[in-house]
Amino acid sequence: MTIKPEEFAKSGFNFALFFANTAFDGIERLAVLNLSASRSVFEAYVSNMNALLGVKDIQSLVELQKGIAAPSIEKGVEYSRNVIAIATDAKEKITKEVESHVADTNAKVTNLVEKALASAPAGSEVAVAAVKTAIKSANEAMDGLNKVAKQAAEVAEASVSAATEATIKATTAAAPKAAAKKAA
């Protein structure tokens, strides 16, 4: 298995094309989400303004504030979750493709090195062993970096999820208390 320049160029072009298509897909999904969120915010604003115009007393205002706060927070959190899901999906697609591309290139390079080492002159066994060890060490280092990157991404996603849940709980609990203080 030899690496021809045109195959290498085609592989690189196909990878760049995949990356661009994946990025555009994510951007398109994000644009649709943003348009939907904008429409929802506008509709909620109109509805809330109509409700505020109909308030007759302080108690009605307090009840209205309670009713407005929680759905707004939930919509914001849902929007954040959707953005994270779109980004995560794109990241996973690109990660899979990069891993596949790296594995394929690595196999080709290893095969090429094996062929070159097979035709090495007599007495070069130490150099051949050193090259093989260097390739093995580079592969192990790459695997280790991939594992660390995946773990870091998982920790970051878990932290964002935990912070989001804590924010929802805190604001849901605080909204009625703040509204009650205003009424008093």
CB atoms within 10 A of CB 125: 10
pLDDT tens by residue, 5-53: 787 788 888 888 998 999 999 999 999 999 999 999 999 999 989 988 8
- Listing DSSP states for the chain in one string gives ----HHHHHHHHHHHHHHHHHHHHHHHHHHHHHHHHHHHHHHHHHHHHHHHHHT--SHHHHHHHHHHHHHHHHHHHHHHHHHHHHHHHHHHHHHHHHHHHHHHHHHHHHHHHHHHHHHTPPTT-HHHHHHHHHHHHHHHHHHHHHHHHHHHHHHHHHHHHHHHHHHHHHHHHHHHHHHHHHHH-
pTM of the model: 0.65
Res 183: pLDDT = 52
Res 181: pLDDT = 62
pLDDT tens by residue, 67-93: 887 788 888 888 988 998 898 899 889
* Torsions phi, psi for 4 (to 5 deg): -90, 145
Whether the per-residue pLDDT at 155 is higher than 80: the answer is: no
Q: Are 87 and 26 in contact (CB under 8 A)?
A: yes
Per the model's pLDDT, the better-predicted residue between 104 and 26 turns out to be 26
Per the model's pLDDT, the better-predicted residue between 92 and 118 turns out to be 92
pLDDT tens by residue, 120-137: 777 777 777 787 788 788
Taking residues 93-103, report their average pLDDT.
Answer: 84
pLDDT tens by residue, 5-14: 787 788 888 8
Res 46: pLDDT = 93
Chain-centre distance for alpha carbon 118: 44
- Average pLDDT over the chain reads 81
Whether the per-residue pLDDT at 160 is higher than 60: the answer is: yes
